[in-house]
């Protein structure tokens, strides 16, 4: 019991330190100076893959064509949708014929997954100097493209990714989705995404650089030459978490990248029901660990020890009339956990009351992890939007 609490406290102190460091380093995109692109502006292709996105595609496309940038064009690929997506984007084409190109996706080859196949077709059909891939469930602020292009030029970047503001509607979205951002910002020091740690020996910096690569597929912008050099989506055609794989290729081949806080620039609502939330994260969860079962189980156990064990222990310790060291350690672990979640929720504008339900969100992921392990050992492939993943 004591050893488990020491592990929990050590883990929570370390991840809290990383979170506080990232609170300073994870920056918003700066506002654009007046007339910044009057003299020169690289062309941008906004690429949107869409499969069964009738609930959100119109909002996404309308914000994409409304960009306050002089040289952008929107490409939408209908990936064999069956829910009315094609009819919606056809209607948008009639309204925005000059700013919008509609593509009908070709049948998916057996050795490709759906999203990489759609994105590869979009890249090949477009002609912009910068390729901006966004998901159909995102929407852009009017200056999103302009701020992105300026940041790429100012910071001399070949690739940029933004983590959107997540709009949370249902109960389970509010409980679960913030844990994704918490996992990112308590484990990956953002400063190392741009530059490898200086404390690493110089001969290791290049080889270990991909370990510090991360990306959010909801918003990724590449210089076209960089995208083509790393092989584009063709190089990750069979990967579920293709966004992170592309970021690792960027880092591994020595290109410059960075990631930013996308609030005030791009927003997203990832899932609109508990079923969609469960199915969407079910297909990504183990893939995010590169199917490393040992690491997956170790991290699951560590999260149980750090986030659930102290909470489960408190009711039993509270029966004691004396204050013991075990009780102090358990309370300290719970307070650290709740304060991590409180900081995340305040940072991203989410309801602070849901901080108290953080253990419920962790338990939800524990159950999802068991389901994912069952899928893996039974050989069952999860489905997403009518396709096996």
Q: What is the pLDDT of residue 312?
A: 92
Give the pTM.
0.94
CB 100 within 8 A of CB 177: no
CB 46 within 8 A of CB 74: yes
pLDDT at 11 over 70: yes
- Split at pLDDT 50, 70, 90, the class of 69 is very high
pLDDT, mean of residues 350-360: 95
Q: What is the pLDDT of residue 383?
A: 82
pLDDT digits (tens, 9 = 90+) for 365-378: 999 999 999 999 99
Instruction: Give me the percent of the chain exceeding a pLDDT of 90.
Output: 85
Beta strand residue intervals within the chain, DSSP E: 44-50, 72-78, 100-104, 130-134, 138-140, 159-163, 165-166, 219-223, 257-261, 266-268, 383-384, 387-388
pLDDT, mean of residues 337-366: 96
Of 216, 229, 270, the closest CA to residue 123 belongs to 229
Q: What is the pLDDT of residue 318?
A: 64
pLDDT digits (tens, 9 = 90+) for 283-328: 999 999 989 999 999 999 999 999 999 999 887 766 664 568 888 8
């Amino acid at each position: 019991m004591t050893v488990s609490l020491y592990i929990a406290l050590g883990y929570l102190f370390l991840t809290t330190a990383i979170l506080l460091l990232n609170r300073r380093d994870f920056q918003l995109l700066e506002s654009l100076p007046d007339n910044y692109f009057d003299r020169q502006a690289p062309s941008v292709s906004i690429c949107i893959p869409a499969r069964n996105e009738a609930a959100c595609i119109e909002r996404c496309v309308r914000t994409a064509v409304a960009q306050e940038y002089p040289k952008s064009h929107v490409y939408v690929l209908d990936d064999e949708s069956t829910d009315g997506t094609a009819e919606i984007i056809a209607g948008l084409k009639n309204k925005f014929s000059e700013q919008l190109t509609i593509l009908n996706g070709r049948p998916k080859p057996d050795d490709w997954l759906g999203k990489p196949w759609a994105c590869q077709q979009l890249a090949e059909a477009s002609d912009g100097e910068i390729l901006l891939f966004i998901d159909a469930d995102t929407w852009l602020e009017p200056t999103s493209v302009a701020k992105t292009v300026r940041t790429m030029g100012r910071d001399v970047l070949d690739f940029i990714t933004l983590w959107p503001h997540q709009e949370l509607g249902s109960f389970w979205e509010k409980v679960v989705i913030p844990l994704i951002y918490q996992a990112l910002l308590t484990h990956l020091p953002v400063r190392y995404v741009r530059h490898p740690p200086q404390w690493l020996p110089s001969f290791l910096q290049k080889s270990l650089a991909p370990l510090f690569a991360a990306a959010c597929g909801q918003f990724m912008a590449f210089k076209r030459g960089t995208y083509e050099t790393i092989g584009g989506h063709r190089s990750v055609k069979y990967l579920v978490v293709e966004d992170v794989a592309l970021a690792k290729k960027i880092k591994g081949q020595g290109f410059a990248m960075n990631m930013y806080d996308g609030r005030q620039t791009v927003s997203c609502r990832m899932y609109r029901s508990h079923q969609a939330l469960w199915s969407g994260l079910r297909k990504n969860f183990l893939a995010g660990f590169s199917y490393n079962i040992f690491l997956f189980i170790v991290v699951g156990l560590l999260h149980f020890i750090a986030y659930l064990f102290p909470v489960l222990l408190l009711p039993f310790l509270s029966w004691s009339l004396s204050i013991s060291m075990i009780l102090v350690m358990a309370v300290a672990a719970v307070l650290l956990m709740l304060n991590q979640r409180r900081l995340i929720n305040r940072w991203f504008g989410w309801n602070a009351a849901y901080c108290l339900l953080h253990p419920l969100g962790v338990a939800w992921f524990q159950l999802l992890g068991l389901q994912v392990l069952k899928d893996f050992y039974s050989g069952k492939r999860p489905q997403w939007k009518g396709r096996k993943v």
